[in-house]
Every structure is written in C-alpha cells, then in structure tokens.
Structure 1
Amino acid sequence: MTEAGTQNHPTIGWIGLGKMGLPIVGNLLKAGFDVVVYDVDSRRTEELAQRGARASKDIAGVAASAHLILSIIPDDVALQKVALGPQGVIANARDGAVYIDMSTVSPAISETVRDAARARAVDFIAAPVSGSTVLAEKAQLTVFASGPKPAFERTLPVFEALSARQYYVGADQQARYLKLAINHLVGSTAVLLAEALTLGKKGGLDWAEMLTVIGDSAAASPLIKYKLEPLKQRDFSPAFSSTQMLKDMTLVVDAGDAAGVPMAAASLVREQFAQYVNGDGAELDFFSIVRAVESAAGIEG
C-alpha cells in the first residue's frame, strides 16, 4: 500500500501499543488497514511491524503519515505529551487530519487537546473504549465517541473494525463523561460485591454456591456474570488491575468535583482502592478488592 492507503482502507497512524493497543492494531491489520505505529517500547513496535504494520521512530512521524491518527495511552500526562508540543500529534498532523484519542482520561485534558486541535484546523474525537483485553482481541469492544459528527463518520470504519458497538454521543466531551460514569458503576460494583460476598461468607454460605445464586438473581449484571467463574476459582489475574481502577475512580471523583456533582459514593470507592493498592493488591484484578474486605472482617485467605 502507499502512504495514502486505499480508497476503502486509509492509512492509520497509531500511538500506544499496551495491553489494549496491541490487539486493537492486530485487528486493524486483519481488516486490511495500512497502519503506521509508534510506542515508547520499541519491542512492541517491532512486534507489530512483523505482523504487517509500518514502524515510526517518533510521534511526529506517525502524525505526518496519515489523515486518521489514533492513540490509546495510560493517562492525562501521557496524552499531554503525545498530543501537544513541537513533536506531538497536533503540531505535526496533516491539514484536515482527524485525531482520535481512545484513552480513559479527564475531560479537562481532553478539552485542552481539543482547543489545540481547533487552532490548527484538526478535528479531535474523544473515543474511549469499554471492554477487557479479551474483548479487544476479539474486536468486541464498545466505543463511545464525541466530537465533530463528520469526523466521527470518517472514522467509523476504523471503529467498526475494532469494536462490536459504536455510539456517537455528542459534539464535545460527552464521551469522556460517559466513560467515567460507566467506570464509576464498574468500580463501585466490585466493592459492593466484595462486601456482599464477605457478609455471606461470615454467615456460613458456601463460596461457590453463593456466587451461583447471585449470578441467577436480580442483582446479576453482565459484569457480575462475566466475573463469576474467576471469582469462584479466586483467580485474580488482572484483566484490569486495581491500580488502573484507582486511576479511573480518581478521574471520576475529580470530574464530579469540577462539574459540581456530589461524589460521596465514588469517593468511598476510590479510598477503598487507594488503601488496597498500597498493600499487595496493586497488580491483581480489581475484583480482588474482596480480599481487602475479607481481611477487614477477620477472614483469612
């Protein structure tokens, strides 16, 4: 393919090849897209190059290579570094480019990037994703996107190649707020379930049987059903770590404070995870928070 890609599959610039970025780019390559990639870890870039991607030595090179530039990176600080500055995406993007950030970050930093993009006539789409690394590998993620509608429509074929569902939710930062609202529910569910399970355990219930009944009850959400088997086995391998959940719950609380929304429940959940990651649970799955509640209740193991 040329640097312009093909009519149906334009060249994509991609920044960030972590747990989510690697499988997502793999699916884009399978779908026939020409993808130029960059990551701070050159080994990841090389891995994708062996699978058909084109490696770039820096962010500026990615930005200059395509009209659609996407990133999925850890946090606000990383987004600021990637998007802004003389070697960042905005300064080096082509005229008429669209920059799509799929990270979970604050509305505040997203607005800063939006403003910088507008100043250069670059469209900016906020498009965080929901789903695990397993769903990323299967191209079954959910995308929440907001920004200029024509730019979203240009990017939709890319979203369709990496996700099962795509929601356009508004012209500005609505996708950021939706992602944080959902992550609030996810993080809070883990703590609520941990307390409920510990109460049942104290009451003499069998662990596996209790989980089976909860999974068949009115309280069972898709999230709880998804976590039933790992919980029964007490398998806390990290699909999403406690450290990552602490970061997201902090974003939730801070966004609420900035918007003037009382976040009493979110603050309590954040505090639970803050205490937990200071122990031995930092890199375990966030549903392992049940271990902290059990310990506080005097239950060992």
Structure 2
Amino acid sequence: MDSKVAAETRAGVAGRKTGWVGAGKMGLPMARNLLAAGIAVAVCEPNPATLAMLSAEGAATSADLSALDGADLVFATLPDDAALRAVVAGLATRLPRGAVLVEMSTVSPECSAEVAQILANAGILYIRAPVSGSTALAEKGTLTVLASGDPQGWQTALPLISLLSARQFWLGTGDEARYMKLVLNTLVGASSAILAEAVSMGASGGLSRAAMMEVICESAVASPLFKYKADLVVSEDYTPAFTIQQMIKDFTLISDAGRGNGVPMLTSGLILELYRAAANAGLQNEDFFALVKWHSGISAQRG
C-alpha cells in the first residue's frame, strides 16, 4: 500500500476505536491487512490460537465482545444468521450511539432486516457489506465489496474498506447488498454444477479433463472462475477454498430468499440437491468444485 495513502487513512480514523468480530478464513486476513496498514484494531474471536497470533501483531484481543466496548467502527465476518443475531444483540448494548457496524458475511436478507431494526433502535449505523472473492484475494486486499445501508456509515467506513478491497459497489440503502451476494453465489454455484455434467459427458466421449479445461478456458464460456479452478479439476486435488457444505448453506439462503419473494427457484433448488447428494457421499468438506468428482463417480457406476 502506498505510504501516503496509508498515512491519510490513519489520519482519517484518528480518534476512532476500530473493532473486528470473527477472524476466521476471511476475517483473519482482512483484520491483518488493517493492522499492517497501521490501524489499531480490537479483535473478538473465540479461537485462542488466532487471538494469540493477532495479539502478537498488535491487536487488542478478547474471546468475547468486551474488547469492543466503546468502539465506534466495527467490522464483522460471521458464519451464519444465528451468529449475526447473537453478535448484534451484544453490540447493541456495548457500542455508542452513532457507531458504525460493517457486517461482511453471507447471511439471509430476512435476518439482515431483523438486525437492522435492532441496530436502528440502538442508534447504530448499519452497513451490509458482503464480499466476493477468495481467501487469496482477502490476503492481498483485493476483494470486491458489495455494500448497502446507511450512507453516512458508508462514508465513515470507506477509507478502511478501501484497504481490504479493489472494488466497492454501493447498491442502496436497504438489504440490496445481501441480495447481490446471493445473485453472485447463485452463478458461482451453478458454474460448478454444470461443469460437472459437461466434463462427465466429455469424458464419456474420450476427452481428458486437461484437454477439456484448456479449451473451456479459451472459449466463449471462459470465466475467471473456470480459469481459477482449472488446475484443481485436472489434478483432482479438491483442497477447499469454499466447501460443498458452505455452498449448501448459501443455496439454502438463495432458495429461501427467492421463494420468500415469490420467485420460482427451480434450477437453484436442483443445484442445492446436487450439493446435498455430494455431501451425503462424503464430500462435504471438499471444495465445491468436487461436484466434478462426484458426478464422474456417478457416471462411472452407471457406465
């Protein structure tokens, strides 16, 4: 990061107490990026090893929310709706009026709307800011942030969000960012599902995975996602960046959000069942592109 930009960012948050809740796969590299930029951060995270590492890097740490008392700008990366509800219930009584919560997880629009009301009652400005990108992009500070919520809170948080991301999209004053994240994850999850069928069909005609992925990645259907996953598909090393179990969670959110608004979700429902079937076959903790392995196994059994 440019030293002048870093200095200007630190100056812009001078006098503020910045907090972070949840330093997991995505939250940890993002919190570390703030620390590396010279931002003082108080981190709440239940994992003792993570707390020890962040403490060694200069963060104030705690396994509970006490580290965030009095913070006026808090980021959160949480696993699910239940965790968001629990954290917001605690923060609503700890943060001062006028504080900003930037919540960066993939959660349901329904839950997000619920906590928005709780935060509004507490006078806390709420930014929905789910991210798009991998852990590698989180480490580089080049994620894409999808944001909506309170415009004043957005302007307050933007200098730090810019340290974590290469692109930021402001989408509205409600839960638009939550829906945008689900839109993207629908397409990401569908890509793995249709590739699994396409590769199995091609293999039945004598094509190798290496040949198929080379052509696919140079064709009209090429995408950054297919290029990123090509080596994984060819080598069959499905070390997870994002697991099948996590995709099941996301497609459940996708299906529920669509149905809740009267949108037919026939294709998404089918894709969800594909991921569930792969999980039942023991692949739940492998990368979601392991649908290729699962489908190939099914095809081989039928052959």
Normalising by structure 2, we get a TM-score of: 0.93
Match of 2:62 among 37, 48, 56: 56
Deviation at 1:21, TM superposition (A): 1.0
Match of 2:224 among 222, 225, 246: 222
- Once residues 70 and 38 of structure 2 are traced to their aligned partners in structure 1, the CA distance between those partners, rounded to angstroms, is 17
Does residue 73 in structure 1 map to residue 61 in structure 2? no
Match of 1:16 among 13, 22, 27: 22
Deviation at 1:7, TM superposition (A): 3.5
Deviation at 1:150, TM superposition (A): 1.3
> Aligned in 2, Cα 1:133/1:190: closer, same or farther, shift over 3 Å?
same
- Once residues 236 and 79 of structure 1 are traced to their aligned partners in structure 2, the CA distance between those partners, rounded to angstroms, is 29
8 Å CA contact 2:22–2:77 kept in 1: the answer is yes
> Aligned in 2, Cα 1:215/1:55: closer, same or farther, shift over 3 Å?
same
The letter of the residue matching 1:265 is: T
Report what 2:153 is aligned to.
151
8 Å CA contact 2:209–2:233 kept in 1: the answer is no
The letter of the residue matching 1:174 is: E
For the residue of structure 2 that corresponds to 1:277, the secondary structure is: helix
Deviation at 1:56, TM superposition (A): 2.7
Per-residue Cα deviation, 1:125-148 (whole angstroms, up to 9, x for no partner): 111001111111111111001001
8 Å CA contact 2:43–2:67 kept in 1: the answer is no
- Once residues 54 and 301 of structure 2 are traced to their aligned partners in structure 1, the CA distance between those partners, rounded to angstroms, is 46
The letter of the residue matching 1:121 is: G
8 Å CA contact 1:146–1:175 kept in 2: the answer is yes
8 Å CA contact 2:236–2:293 kept in 1: the answer is no
Structure 2: unaligned runs, 5 residues or longer: 1-8
Report what 1:188 is aligned to.
190
Whose helix proportion is higher, 1 or 2? 2
Report what 1:26 is aligned to.
32
Report what 2:256 is aligned to.
254
- Once residues 55 and 63 of structure 2 are traced to their aligned partners in structure 1, the CA distance between those partners, rounded to angstroms, is 12
- Once residues 19 and 243 of structure 2 are traced to their aligned partners in structure 1, the CA distance between those partners, rounded to angstroms, is 28
For the residue of structure 2 that corresponds to 1:159, the secondary structure is: helix
- How many residues align? The count is 292
* 1:158-173 map, 5 Å: 158-173=160-175
- Once residues 57 and 141 of structure 1 are traced to their aligned partners in structure 2, the CA distance between those partners, rounded to angstroms, is 27
8 Å CA contact 2:51–2:61 kept in 1: the answer is yes
8 Å CA contact 2:148–2:177 kept in 1: the answer is yes
For the residue of structure 2 that corresponds to 1:79, the secondary structure is: helix
- Once residues 116 and 60 of structure 1 are traced to their aligned partners in structure 2, the CA distance between those partners, rounded to angstroms, is 19
8 Å CA contact 2:147–2:177 kept in 1: the answer is yes
Does residue 242 in structure 1 map to residue 244 in structure 2? yes
- Once residues 136 and 203 of structure 2 are traced to their aligned partners in structure 1, the CA distance between those partners, rounded to angstroms, is 30
What is the RMSD of the two structures over their aligned residues, measured on CA atoms? 1.4
Deviation at 1:42, TM superposition (A): 2.4
> Aligned in 2, Cα 1:107/1:141: closer, same or farther, shift over 3 Å?
same
8 Å CA contact 1:13–1:65 kept in 2: the answer is no
Does residue 107 in structure 1 map to residue 109 in structure 2? yes
The letter of the residue matching 1:74 is: P
For the residue of structure 2 that corresponds to 1:164, the secondary structure is: strand
For the residue of structure 1 that corresponds to 2:167, the secondary structure is: strand
Per-residue Cα deviation, 1:133-167 (whole angstroms, up to 9, x for no partner): 11111111110010011110110011111111111
- Once residues 121 and 46 of structure 2 are traced to their aligned partners in structure 1, the CA distance between those partners, rounded to angstroms, is 27
Deviation at 1:279, TM superposition (A): 2.0
Identity, % of aligned positions: 41
- Once residues 291 and 214 of structure 1 are traced to their aligned partners in structure 2, the CA distance between those partners, rounded to angstroms, is 18
Deviation at 1:170, TM superposition (A): 0.4
- Once residues 218 and 17 of structure 2 are traced to their aligned partners in structure 1, the CA distance between those partners, rounded to angstroms, is 46
Match of 2:283 among 251, 274, 281: 281
Deviation at 1:228, TM superposition (A): 1.1
8 Å CA contact 1:75–1:104 kept in 2: the answer is yes
- Once residues 273 and 162 of structure 1 are traced to their aligned partners in structure 2, the CA distance between those partners, rounded to angstroms, is 30
The letter of the residue matching 2:194 is: L
Deviates most, 35-44 or 98-107:
35-44
- Once residues 237 and 187 of structure 1 are traced to their aligned partners in structure 2, the CA distance between those partners, rounded to angstroms, is 17
Match of 1:269 among 268, 271, 275: 271
The letter of the residue matching 2:279 is: V
Deviates most, 43-52 or 177-186:
43-52
- Once residues 300 and 261 of structure 2 are traced to their aligned partners in structure 1, the CA distance between those partners, rounded to angstroms, is 39
Structure 1: unaligned runs, 5 residues or longer: none
Deviation at 1:277, TM superposition (A): 1.0
